[in-house]
Structure 1
Amino acid sequence: MSRGIGIALAWISILAAVLFLVAPLAVIVATSFSPTPVFDLPSGGLSLRWYERIGRLDGFWLALSLSLQIGLLSTLLSLVLGTLAAIGIQRGRLPGANALAALLVSPLMLPGLVLGIALLQGFRMVGLTAAWPALLLAHLLITLPYVARTMLAGLARFDFTLVEAARTLGCTFPGAVMRVMLPALAPSFFTATFFAFLASFDNYPISIFLTDARTKTLPIKMLQYIEEAPDPTLAALSTVILAATILLLVLGDKFVGLNRMAGTSD
Structure 2
Amino acid sequence: MTLIERFASVLVWTLAAFTVVFLLTPLAVTVAVSFGSSAVFTLPAPSFSLRWYEAMGRSRDLWPAVATSLQLAVVSTLIALVLGTLAAIGLLRGRFPGRGAAVTFLVSPLMLPGLVLGIAMLEAFRGAGLRSVWASLILAHVVITLPYVVRTVYASLSLFDFTLIDAARILGLSYPKAVVKVMVPSLAPAFVTSGMFAFLASMDNYPISIFFTNAWTKTLPIQMLQYVEESPDPMIAAVSSLLILLAMLVLLVGDRLVGLRRMADL
**TM-score of the aligned structures, taking structure 2 as reference length:** 0.96
Mapped pair 1:168 → 2:155:
no
Which stretch of structure 1 is more off in the superposition, 38-47 or 96-105? 38-47
Report the Cα distance in structure 2 between the residues aligned to 1:227 and 1:96, rounded to whole angstroms: 47
State the Cα RMSD in Å. 1.1
User: Contact (CA 8 Å) 1:28, 1:239: kept in 2 or not?
Assistant: yes
Counterpart in 2 of 1:82? Answer: 84
Pick aligned residue for 2:64 from 62, 71, 79: 62
Where do residues 107-126 of structure 1 align in structure 2 (5 Å cutoff)? 107-126=109-128
User: Contact (CA 8 Å) 2:38, 2:45: kept in 1 or not?
Assistant: no
Mapped pair 1:244 → 2:246:
yes
Structure 2 vs 1, CA of residues 213 and 95 (structure 1 numbering), >3 Å: closer, same or farther? same
User: Contact (CA 8 Å) 1:39, 1:232: kept in 2 or not?
Assistant: yes
Shift of 1:253: 1.2
User: Contact (CA 8 Å) 1:35, 1:42: kept in 2 or not?
Assistant: no
Where do residues 1-266 of structure 1 align in structure 2 (5 Å cutoff)? 1-263=3-265
Which amino acid in the other structure matches residue 154 of structure 1? S
Report the Cα distance in structure 2 between the residues aligned to 1:9 and 1:240, rounded to whole angstroms: 35
Identity of aligned residues (%): 56
User: Contact (CA 8 Å) 1:88, 1:94: kept in 2 or not?
Assistant: no
Which amino acid in the other structure matches residue 96 of structure 1? G
Which amino acid in the other structure matches residue 106 of structure 2? L
Shift of 1:58: 3.0
Report the Cα distance in structure 2 between the residues aligned to 1:104 and 1:43, rounded to whole angstroms: 47
Shift of 1:95: 2.1
Shift of 1:30: 0.6
User: Contact (CA 8 Å) 1:32, 1:233: kept in 2 or not?
Assistant: yes
User: Contact (CA 8 Å) 1:104, 1:145: kept in 2 or not?
Assistant: yes
User: Contact (CA 8 Å) 1:29, 1:235: kept in 2 or not?
Assistant: yes
CA deviation digits over 1:102-138, x for unaligned, max 9? Answer: 1101111111111111111111122212211111111
**TM-score of the aligned structures, taking structure 1 as reference length:** 0.96
Which amino acid in the other structure matches residue 60 of structure 1? L
Report the Cα distance in structure 2 between the residues aligned to 1:170 and 1:130, rounded to whole angstroms: 47
Report the Cα distance in structure 1 between the residues aligned to 2:69 and 2:42, rounded to whole angstroms: 29
CA deviation digits over 1:20-48, x for unaligned, max 9? Answer: 10011111011001111111124342111
Report the Cα distance in structure 2 between the residues aligned to 1:52 and 1:163, rounded to whole angstroms: 54
Which amino acid in the other structure matches residue 64 of structure 1? V
Which stretch of structure 1 is more off in the superposition, 224-233 or 255-264? 255-264
User: Contact (CA 8 Å) 1:77, 1:140: kept in 2 or not?
Assistant: yes
Name the SS of the counterpart of 1:157 in structure 2.
Answer: coil
CA deviation digits over 1:57-114, x for unaligned, max 9? Answer: 2311211111111111111111111100100011122322111111101111111111
Report the Cα distance in structure 2 between the residues aligned to 1:100 and 1:226, rounded to whole angstroms: 40
Q: Runs of 5+ in structure 2 lacking a partner?
A: none
User: Contact (CA 8 Å) 1:33, 1:42: kept in 2 or not?
Assistant: no
